């Protein structure tokens, strides 16, 4: 099972507010407490159930009304007709309790260690060796809450960083490996090391990646993480357009 801390964080937005529709396949809730950054959230869990939460303002913009017969398809038509686009779903991974227990029994692999502010020059050289696109996709930063790296011949070649998600004890993870050092297991070792350290601090790890990022999906599985579901939010571009 996934940790209740993790599942409660991800399922609670769809259980708060006014339920406009609920059946075994689709739930739609108007939740006024959603963040301004995520006024529409769509979660598809492994059982195939799709849950939607959106703010009253976004519900009104999409023309959604109480008592209306809804399905996932009709909800998406409402969004499309209102010019509200979703960003594009991420896979959402986390550790099952039994896998986290096994993780905690491991020791950190040789060549992997925690990075601190004292590694500023080392990390700057690492960033300079990565493409801008890779850096943007990974969102790995030395000033994040927790950072680990793998070294090869004294050079930092892979780094992962974490930050608490929505001020919770769930920590979101990003990882970046230099192209010349991929396929050597560095990312797997770094991910397991940082997740083990986070677990020791009382945090649950989560890992997100785009559905078409096969390498990132493979890394999550090789690091022992399990798929929880798919998560999508409103595109910031479409949100700006609706405000205009």
How much is the pLDDT for 240?
Answer: 47
Whether residues 110 and 204 share a domain: the answer is yes
Domain that holds residue 207: 96-224
pLDDT tens readout for residues 87-105: 999 999 999 999 999 999 9
Whether residues 29 and 17 share a domain: the answer is yes
How much is the pLDDT for 67?
Answer: 81
Selected residue with higher pLDDT from 107 and 68: 107
Task: State mean pLDDT over 110-117.
Answer: 97
Whether residues 63 and 142 share a domain: the answer is no
Whether residues 218 and 158 share a domain: the answer is yes
Whether residues 112 and 167 share a domain: the answer is yes
pLDDT tens readout for residues 191-240: 999 999 999 999 999 999 999 999 999 999 999 999 999 999 998 665 44
Whether residues 41 and 107 share a domain: the answer is no
pLDDT tens readout for residues 123-164: 999 999 999 999 999 999 999 999 999 999 999 999 999 999
The mean pLDDT of the chain is 94
* Per-residue pLDDT band at 69 (split at 50, 70, 90): confident
Please report, for residues 7, 31, 150, 190, 222, the alpha-carbon distance to residue 112 in angstroms, rounded to integers and kept in the order given: 30, 43, 4, 6, 17
CATH code of the domain covering residue 160? 3.40.630.30
pLDDT over threshold 80, residue 243: no
Identify the burial level of 149 via C-beta atoms within 10 angstroms of its C-beta, where 0-12 means exposed, 13-18 middle and 19 or more buried: buried
Task: State mean pLDDT over 163-175.
Answer: 96
Whether residues 216 and 111 share a domain: the answer is yes
Please report, for residues 19, 44, 47, 51, 67, the alpha-carbon distance to residue 22 in angstroms, rounded to integers and kept in the order given: 7, 14, 15, 9, 11
Whether residues 86 and 161 share a domain: the answer is no
Whether residues 27 and 147 share a domain: the answer is no
pLDDT over threshold 80, residue 242: no
Whether residues 41 and 63 share a domain: the answer is yes
From CA 163, how far away is CA 144, in angstroms rounded? 6
Whether residues 83 and 110 share a domain: the answer is no
How much is the pLDDT for 237?
Answer: 61
Whether residues 63 and 172 share a domain: the answer is no
Using CA atoms of 185, 187, 190, 193 in order, give the dihedral in degrees to the nearest 10. Answer: -80
Q: Nearest 5°: CA angle at 207, between 214 and 105?
A: 110
Reduced to 3 states (helix: H, G, I; strand: E, B; else coil), residue 148 is strand
CB 150 within 8 A of CB 189: yes
Q: What is the pTM of this model?
A: 0.92
Work out how many domains the chain is built from and give that number: 2
């Amino acid at each position: 099972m996934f940790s209740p801390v993790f599942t409660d964080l991800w399922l609670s937005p769809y259980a708060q507010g006014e339920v406009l529709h609920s059946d075994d396949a689709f739930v739609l809730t108007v939740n006024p407490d959603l963040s301004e950054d995520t006024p529409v959230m769509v979660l598809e869990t492994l059982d195939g159930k799709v849950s939607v939460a959106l703010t009253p303002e976004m519900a009104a913009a999409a023309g959604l009304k109480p008592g209306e017969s809804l399905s996932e398809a009709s909800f998406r038509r409402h969004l499309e007709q209102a010019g509200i686009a979703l960003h594009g779903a991420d896979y959402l991974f986390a550790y099952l309790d039994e896998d986290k227990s096994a993780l905690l029994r491991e020791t950190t692999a040789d060549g992997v260690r925690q990075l601190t502010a004292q590694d500023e020059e080392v990390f700057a050289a690492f960033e300079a060796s990565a493409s801008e696109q890779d850096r943007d996709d990974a969102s790995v930063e030395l000033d994040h809450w927790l950072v680990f790296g793998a070294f090869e011949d004294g050079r930092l070649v892979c780094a992962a960083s974490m930050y608490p998600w929505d001020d919770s004890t769930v920590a979101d993870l990003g990882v970046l490996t230099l192209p010349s050092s991929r396929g050597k297991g560095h990312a797997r070792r770094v991910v397991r090391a940082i997740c083990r350290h986070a677990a020791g601090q009382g945090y649950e790890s989560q890992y997100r990646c785009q559905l078409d990022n096969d390498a990132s999906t493979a890394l999550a599985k090789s690091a022992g993480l399990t798929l929880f579901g798919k998560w999508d939010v409103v595109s910031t571009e479409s949100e700006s357009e609706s405000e205009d």
